[in-house]
Structure 1
């Protein structure tokens, strides 16, 4: 009994790290907890015998469990967009504290969590282990069942997808990013006058959540009134089809995307996209200053 207690204490010392690994791989706190619990069950069956590097062993096991869970999710067509739909919000609320998950998502980076969901399972596991937790490729290769060279290529491919590619010149993109960032800040603060000044007088907002004529808002005054003080805390800058945009993802679950057209320092058009099929056709990526990515 005392040996089992000692093993449990050792596991608890690693629990926080394992949860961090699993959450970044799965994007769901409830699923991360399931993966960590399964890791404990496997450790208890091993009884700790012959494990020289407990931290490394546990990280490998939880990573393999997460990889299996991601593959199962994909095979059931439960991709990131479907798991991020609004109706899934209440499914785990009796198990996981929504505020706790929201804080965890914010600490990881909402944009990064959303974009990680666009990677295939092996890319996601490889990227998280190497670029987030700085685990060397020779240790990741056995986890994903690839050669070290192939694993390195997976990480590079994932990194390119996460960073995305700008579709406008750097100077234009920097200006565009600053405009969208200022718009988001003014919407958060409820700064009506600043919002009006940033918007083209004939600005158009198209919202696919609405039907009929209500889906279109026209004019700077009308749009400023609609968004002033109503920006969600979970709204964050991101690359949307290679240009500066906004994603809204409470607890890391994507609700909608805002795509902007900026003309002569003013926002001329805004498209609010919430339909999963439309979102799946968007290239989403994190801004270069919004994620921690280690070099090869």
Structure 2
């Protein structure tokens, strides 16, 4: 079908929302971009004059593409080298989508994206469409070709699974910097005790190197084990500098709404560590060091003002 300028403009107006949905469904910015582009190709091939509600049509096509992707992704992740973690997005990234309610902010937090990996594709789709984008169950049912009652039941199960994860505390940018400052001071003190005091007793630390950067396949568990690991991580070593291409500048920021450490070498983001914070302390540190999952962060980093680094490391 030949598309008019209005047809293209209509899709482009929907693109930010579609990308935000796809990112929450897939946990990958690059895969989300691919899914949205495939949706555009489907839109190009459709008889758009017969599409009564373009937003609903586009959402249904995108969601079903993502469901197919999730099904195949589960098989691929069984052969993934090491621990698979979502792709983190830095503060200001438009793919984070709307953040005007607590539910929407929570739906894109790094901690919740990790929890969503435990859900079935349908559970994940219902949770994202309802909690993050406030779609009524009637529309969700039409998108997924299920009944309204089934949509409600699926949401109940999904929320139960997500609620089983630890509650998080909402953090603003100033508070995030304070938390990261305190964490860095403890991590570079050369002692484990200051770090242990910041962590919950059941804290974990896990990283995703994708087989391209060394990262422990299994999580460090417990405050003492995590503290010893982080203390060792911040010890200067030539091997670390050689691995990442030099000394890293460490910045404090927000990633997916959580306090984060960003390590940058010559303008290239080489690592993002998200800190999951609860009222009891830091309960998880999740580090993304797979270069394939840091390309978008590097592009955004180059385009924004991020101030002076807190320190140089490694």
Bin for the TM-score computed over the shorter chain:
0.5 to 0.7
Task: Give the TM-score normalised by structure 1.
Answer: 0.57
SS state of the match for residue 143, structure 1? helix
Give 1:9 deviation, angstroms. Answer: 1.5
- Whole-Å separation in 2 of the counterparts to 1:115 and 1:45: 36
- Whole-Å separation in 2 of the counterparts to 1:22 and 1:219: 36
CA distance change for structure 1 residues 218 and 122 in 2, over 3 Å: closer, same or farther?
Answer: closer
Give 1:185 deviation, angstroms. Answer: 5.7
SS state of the match for residue 22, structure 1? helix
Partner of 1:258: none
Partner of 1:235: 274
SS state of the match for residue 188, structure 1? helix
For residues 189-242 of structure 1, what are the alpha-carbon distances to aligned partners after superposition, in whole Å with 9 as ceiling and x for unaligned?
457399635648xx9x999977xxxxxx98999778536698844222279xxx
1:248 partnered with 2:245: no
CA distance change for structure 1 residues 139 and 72 in 2, over 3 Å: closer, same or farther?
Answer: same
2:189 aligned residue (189, 192, 203):
192
For residues 1-41 of structure 1, what are the alpha-carbon distances to aligned partners after superposition, in whole Å with 9 as ceiling and x for unaligned?
98522211111111111111111101111111111111111
- The answer on whether the counterparts of 1:27 and 1:252 sit within 8 Å (CA) in structure 2 is no
SS state of the match for residue 192, structure 1? coil
Task: Give the TM-score normalised by structure 2.
Answer: 0.54
- Whole-Å separation in 2 of the counterparts to 1:129 and 1:251: 29
Give 1:186 deviation, angstroms. Answer: 2.4
SS state of the match for residue 235, structure 1? strand
For residues 158-202 of structure 1, what are the alpha-carbon distances to aligned partners after superposition, in whole Å with 9 as ceiling and x for unaligned?
111111167xxx9xx99xxxxxxx9876223457399635648xx
Give 1:82 deviation, angstroms. Answer: 3.6
- The answer on whether the counterparts of 2:16 and 2:95 sit within 8 Å (CA) in structure 1 is no
Aligned length: 219
- Whole-Å separation in 2 of the counterparts to 1:221 and 1:120: 34
- The answer on whether the counterparts of 1:22 and 1:32 sit within 8 Å (CA) in structure 2 is yes
- Whole-Å separation in 2 of the counterparts to 1:19 and 1:102: 15
Aligned residue runs from structure 1 range 1-296, under 5 A? 3-74=3-74, 76-78=75-77, 82=80, 85=83, 101-103=89-91, 104=93, 107=96, 108-164=108-164, 186-190=182-186, 192=189, 196-197=193-194, 199=196, 225-226=231-232, 232-233=261-262, 234-237=273-276, 245-250=283-288
SS state of the match for residue 41, structure 1? helix
Give 1:149 deviation, angstroms. Answer: 0.9
Give the unaligned 5+ runs of structure 2.
Answer: 97-107, 170-177, 207-214, 217-222, 236-249, 251-259, 263-272, 294-314
CA distance change for structure 1 residues 61 and 37 in 2, over 3 Å: closer, same or farther?
Answer: same
Give the unaligned 5+ runs of structure 1.
Answer: 90-97, 175-181, 211-216, 256-296
- Whole-Å separation in 1 of the counterparts to 2:123 and 2:226: 43
For residues 72-114 of structure 1, what are the alpha-carbon distances to aligned partners after superposition, in whole Å with 9 as ceiling and x for unaligned?
223x3536x948747x99xxxxxxxx89x45559953211211
- More helix as a share of residues: 1
